[in-house]
Amino acid sequence: MASAENLRRLALALPETYEDLHRRRPAFRVDKRIFAMLGVTGNESLFTSLGWDTVAVVKLHREDQLNLAAGFPDAIQPTETYGHHGWTYLRLEDLDEPTLATVIRLAWVNVAPKRLSKAS
């Protein structure tokens, strides 16, 4: 069972990642680009219908997004509005830490400059 603190630790361990706020929520960026956010709200009806409590969002390549959503349908869902752009909801309590680490790494690679993603 993963938590917001697991996500924060995993994200900040990636090269040149820093945390700031986006719409008053913790956001994780590399090269000024967001790859993960905590405390996502605004679609409570979806989260309630799914039974989700702790929600984060990450930006994935579309193929990664669809594969992960198929493999973890209770924990990973494309966003309704921007899913085709790779934005993906995570139900943290339904992910183990190794899976969360993989998802965070994929999101980071998706937005990181090539000089960083190739070097790490």
Query: How many domains does the chain divide into?
Result: 1
Residues 6+ apart with CB under 8 A from 24: none
Domain ranges, residue 20: 4-114
**Placement of tokens 């992960």 in the chain:** 68
- Could you tell me if residue 77 is inside a domain? yes
Model confidence over 29-53: pLDDT tens digits? Answer: 999 999 999 976 555 545 555 555 5
pLDDT at 81 over 60: yes
Q: What is the mean pLDDT of residues 59-69?
A: 96
CB contact at 8 A, 70 and 78: no
Query: To the nearest whole percent, how much of the chain has pLDDT over 70?
Result: 86
User: CA-CA distance, 39 to 54, in Å (whole number)?
Assistant: 7
Residues 6+ apart with CB under 8 A from 39: 4, 25, 26, 55, 56
- Could you tell me if residue 22 is inside a domain? yes
Closest CA to 58 of 29, 32, 24, 93: 29
- Could you tell me if residue 119 is inside a domain? no
- Could you tell me if residue 120 is inside a domain? no
Residues 6+ apart with CB under 8 A from 8: 19, 26, 28, 38
- Could you tell me if residue 99 is inside a domain? yes
CB contact at 8 A, 2 and 97: yes
- Could you tell me if residue 43 is inside a domain? yes
- Could you tell me if residue 29 is inside a domain? yes
- Could you tell me if residue 47 is inside a domain? yes
pLDDT number for residue 23: 83
pLDDT number for residue 82: 74
pLDDT number for residue 55: 84
**71 DSSP β-pair partners:** none
Token pair, residue 120, equals 């790490």
pLDDT number for residue 41: 54
DSSP letter at 29 equals E
The pLDDT confidence band at residue 54, using thresholds 50, 70 and 90, is: low
Model confidence over 97-120: pLDDT tens digits? Answer: 999 999 999 999 999 999 987 777
Domain containing residue 105: CATH number: 3.90.1150.30
Note if the pTM is more than 0.85: yes
pLDDT number for residue 45: 46
pLDDT number for residue 79: 84
The per-residue pLDDT of the chain, averaged, comes to 87
